[in-house]
Structure 1
Amino acid sequence: MRIDAVHATPGYAGFFFDDQRAIKRGARQDGFTYDGEPVTDGFDEIRQAGETLIVDVELEDGSVHRGDCAAVQYSGAGGRDPLFRAEAYAPVVEGPVAEELVGRDASDFLAIAELLEELQIEGTRLHTAIRYGVSQALLAAAAHDSGTTQTDVLADELETEPATGPVPVFGQSGDARYGNAEKMFIKGVPVLPHGLINSVEKIGPDGEVLLEYVEWLVERSEELGPEGYDPRFHIDVYGMIGEIFGPPYDRDEVVDYFEALEEAAAPYPIQIEGPMDVGDRADQIAAMVELREGLEGADVGVDVVADEWCNTFKDVREFVDAGAADVVQVKTPDLGGIHRSGQAVRYCEGTDTRAYLGGTCNETETSARACAHVALATDAAQVLAKPGMGFDEGYMIVENEMRRTIARREREQRLANADEVTADD
């Protein structure tokens, strides 16, 4: 079915853009905002409203299919594309992008999505947020055209066997790391709580605050979790472990600290995201390889998760090839087209690295649902509950999208099996 039109409407995302460099340099929190001047290009304030560009792809039958352009909370940091301003990019989507799409067959999802990856405007590739949002709309249009689910479209294009049950959801607490964690325990969330440990105050000068928090997680999980609950703790420290045990980063001290974290989390597994941020991709990979070797040598069973400097599909490949992480975050808006996230998850197959299909609190319900289909199509190790930092809404959106898709696929399979039996009779 032919694409007839492409429309773009500026809107709001599910959270905020934050100047990570300014926060790491000690910007003081003032209520929900921060005092001080931004230091990352494009920011007017250290914290400002998240934006999205709503993309509508209209097909010749009059149906309209939506995707939302979104960028991560910490835009412009760690090698990512600059701050995304929806008003500035709307003419790009309705102009050069629409010119490339109109008249194409909606069923050619992968070919069109790859075209967008290579498209350049005045010598510059499209912002990752544009590739992300437009590809979501194209995926929805392809599913409509084929009369199937987005999961099935992706599975066919990526040559995968979809998951038969919901992929484990990773809950994100934001700064409400106690109250939101308790909500997660009550709902039996499999991976939690993220924690947002992005300052010395939150981790402690010697890491003591985080250790106490992990001990609390164990205690409350056993008090509030459902029968048989076996959570996996996942803490994002935004490089702060490297900060307090350095600079320069001291591997031996970090290994000792990880051993303490493992003991605090027992009997549950724990994984630490972004243990250090050394300033560029090559050095980050080297530091994480060195840390994993140190952990293995000391028989410390804490998994390391790659985030900073692991943004593009190429970055994911390099982290995986180097064995730099037990888990690699596929940060969906940073990879551009949504199919790229699926390809990145697939790249982890057959390696020692598990794929965490992540993203950001600063997305929308539309992009979150699209990512749920990527998770199912590729059977990722875990998928982020998003958008927002309230937890409940994002968990509902992602978990329910997976459940309704699985239920639909099971119904369709039962009908197909019944038709085969009838035909045989």
Structure 2
Amino acid sequence: MRIVDVVTVPGRTGFFADDQAAIRAAALHDGFGYVGEPLTPGFLRIRQPGESLSVLLVLGDGSVVFGDCAAVQYSGAGGRDPVFSADAAAAIVAAHVTPLLIDRELTAFREVADEIEGVRILGTPLHTAIRYGVSQALLAAVAQGRRVTMAEVIRDEYSTGIDIASVPLYAQTGDDRHGNAEKMIVKTVDVLPHALINAVDGKLGQDGEVLEAYLAWLVSRIEALRPTPDYSPRIHIDTYGTVGLIFDGDVERAADYLAGLGRLVAPYPLTVEHPIDAGSRDAQIETYVALRRALAARASTVKLAVDEWCNTLDDIRAFVDAGAADVIHVKTPDLGGIGQSIEALLLVREAGYEAYCGGTCNETDRSAQVSAHVAMACGATQVLAKPGMGVDEGLMIVGNEMARTEALIASRLIRK
């Protein structure tokens, strides 16, 4: 399939870009926004509308495929690329990507995706969001040319040996951690609720008491609202390093607290994402190894999920090699091209850890659909329902895409 034109157009994302440093420094809510000055370079406000850039490939048969460039909500934090500008990205794509693709005959995804991953501008890689969106479009183009699903292209080119099937959905509440959690329970979401514990005051509590009360409430609502007696979700919360803040980074005290949370939510299994932010990749690995050891010493079944400081394929390999987490969040926009996410998920899975195909609320419907194919083809243990913070939309987009893909592949097998 030949590429005859590359068209870009700025668009919206499903949420906002937020300055995590300013929020952790106790910026005050002002309605939906925040009061104060941003602290992270590139931000004009603490909360600003997310931007995307659609990259459309016009193919030789007249068909059009596309991918969406988008970055995570907390851009510029934890070693990530800066906040994304669609206009700036459009100029970069025109100057450095389009010349590589025009008149290109696409016969495979992996080779050209790796080529885009290797592009440098004055020695610097393309912004992760650009690599993310362009690679989505390339995968869609190859799938179009072969008349198969994107998941099948991944399975075949990466020799995954995995039967393509829907994987458990993980939904996030945003700040509406009560109403949205109840939606998840009624809709029997597999993994919930995320809960956005990104500040101490009002979300965690100076002694962790606010989160304890929330989790007790959550368990009571699962018991009260679950549609069937056998509904038993996994509980996964993201604490954005705030546990480390209230315990001054003390691993033993943090382990006591996390183990207590595990007992509180029993019999439901608990995963805690990013309890401590150690400030660098090496320090994060060292801290997580110690925290896992401390939890094991307490006979706790609480699992640790890594997010910040684990942004690239090399980062993920380092965490896996050190045994520094139970769950590896492969945050698709952070890795750049989706080929990197594919390799990361397969690496984690092969090592025997839980491979979480995640992302951010600040993506688009298209990037979420492509992520669904990646998760299915790589046998992820869970996939984020994205974008947005409304629950219903993300569940619909990712869940329906997985269902359609699985049904289409099954139908094709029956016809053979």
Listed as ranges, the matches of 1:19-58 within 5 Å are 19-58=19-58
Partner of 2:231: 229
Listed as ranges, the matches of 1:373-392 within 5 Å are 373-392=373-392
Partner of 1:323: 323
Unaligned runs of 5+ in 2: none
Residue 302 (str. 1) matches residue 298 (str. 2): no
CA separation in 1, counterparts of 2:352 and 2:413?
33
CA separation in 1, counterparts of 2:256 and 2:51?
41
Listed as ranges, the matches of 1:270-281 within 5 Å are 270-281=270-281
* CA apart distance, 1:351: 2.1
CA separation in 2, counterparts of 1:363 and 1:125?
21
* CA apart distance, 1:89: 1.2
Contact 2:171 2:391 in 1 (8 A): yes
Residue 210 (str. 1) matches residue 205 (str. 2): no
**What amino acid maps onto 2:247 in structure 1?**
F
CA separation in 1, counterparts of 2:413 and 2:114?
30
* CA apart distance, 1:165: 3.3
CA separation in 1, counterparts of 2:166 and 2:109?
24
**What amino acid maps onto 1:242 in structure 2?**
G
* CA apart distance, 1:121: 2.2
Provide the secondary structure at the position in 1 that maps to 2:351. Answer: coil
Residue 178 (str. 1) matches residue 178 (str. 2): yes
CA separation in 2, counterparts of 1:226 and 1:345?
32
CA separation in 2, counterparts of 1:107 and 1:260?
54
Provide the secondary structure at the position in 2 that maps to 1:42. Answer: coil
* CA apart distance, 1:164: 4.5
Q: Which moved more, 1:155-164 or 1:235-244?
A: 155-164
CA separation in 2, counterparts of 1:331 and 1:288?
18
CA separation in 1, counterparts of 2:122 and 2:321?
34
| TM-score, normalised via structure 2 length | 0.98
CA separation in 1, counterparts of 2:163 and 2:34?
42
**What amino acid maps onto 1:314 in structure 2?**
D
Contact 1:193 1:234 in 2 (8 A): yes
CA separation in 1, counterparts of 2:82 and 2:8?
20
CA separation in 2, counterparts of 1:162 and 1:296?
31
Contact 2:13 2:363 in 1 (8 A): yes
Partner of 1:239: 241
Contact 2:133 2:337 in 1 (8 A): yes
Listed as ranges, the matches of 1:19-418 within 5 Å are 19-201=19-201, 202-227=203-228, 228-246=230-248, 249-416=249-416
| 1:163/1:188 CA distance change after superposition, 3 Å | farther
| TM-score, normalised via structure 1 length | 0.96
**What amino acid maps onto 1:209 in structure 2?**
V
Unaligned runs of 5+ in 1: 417-425
CA separation in 1, counterparts of 2:342 and 2:257?
34
Contact 2:349 2:380 in 1 (8 A): no
Identical counterparts, % of pairs: 54
Contact 1:270 1:303 in 2 (8 A): yes
CA separation in 1, counterparts of 2:123 and 2:327?
35
**What amino acid maps onto 1:179 in structure 2?**
G
Contact 1:163 1:378 in 2 (8 A): no
Contact 1:3 1:105 in 2 (8 A): yes
CA separation in 1, counterparts of 2:166 and 2:186?
18
Provide the secondary structure at the position in 2 that maps to 1:174. Answer: coil
Q: Which moved more, 1:159-168 or 1:270-279?
A: 159-168
CA separation in 1, counterparts of 2:101 and 2:276?
42
CA separation in 2, counterparts of 1:169 and 1:163?
18
CA separation in 1, counterparts of 2:278 and 2:111?
37
Provide the secondary structure at the position in 1 that maps to 2:67. Answer: strand
Contact 1:128 1:334 in 2 (8 A): yes
**What amino acid maps onto 1:394 in structure 2?**
G
Contact 1:326 1:352 in 2 (8 A): no
Contact 1:170 1:382 in 2 (8 A): yes
Partner of 1:422: none
Deviations 1:304-325 (A, max 9, x none): 0000101011111111111000
Partner of 1:420: none
Residue correspondences, number: 414
**What amino acid maps onto 2:241 in structure 1?**
G
Contact 1:7 1:93 in 2 (8 A): no
Contact 1:6 1:93 in 2 (8 A): no
Provide the secondary structure at the position in 1 that maps to 2:278. Answer: coil
* CA apart distance, 1:163: 4.1
* CA apart distance, 1:252: 1.6
* CA apart distance, 1:43: 0.6
Q: Which moved more, 1:183-192 or 1:221-230?
A: 221-230
CA separation in 1, counterparts of 2:405 and 2:78?
35
Deviations 1:186-215 (A, max 9, x none): 000000000000111200110011111111
* CA apart distance, 1:120: 1.2
How large is the Cα RMSD of the aligned pairs? Answer: 0.9
**What amino acid maps onto 1:123 in structure 2?**
G
* CA apart distance, 1:142: 0.6
* CA apart distance, 1:166: 1.4
Deviations 1:353-391 (A, max 9, x none): 211000000000000000000001001010000000001
* CA apart distance, 1:91: 1.4
* CA apart distance, 1:83: 1.0
**What amino acid maps onto 2:267 in structure 1?**
P
Deviations 1:60-119 (A, max 9, x none): 111110100000000011000111100111011123201011122222211110000101
* CA apart distance, 1:30: 0.8
CA separation in 1, counterparts of 2:174 and 2:336?
25
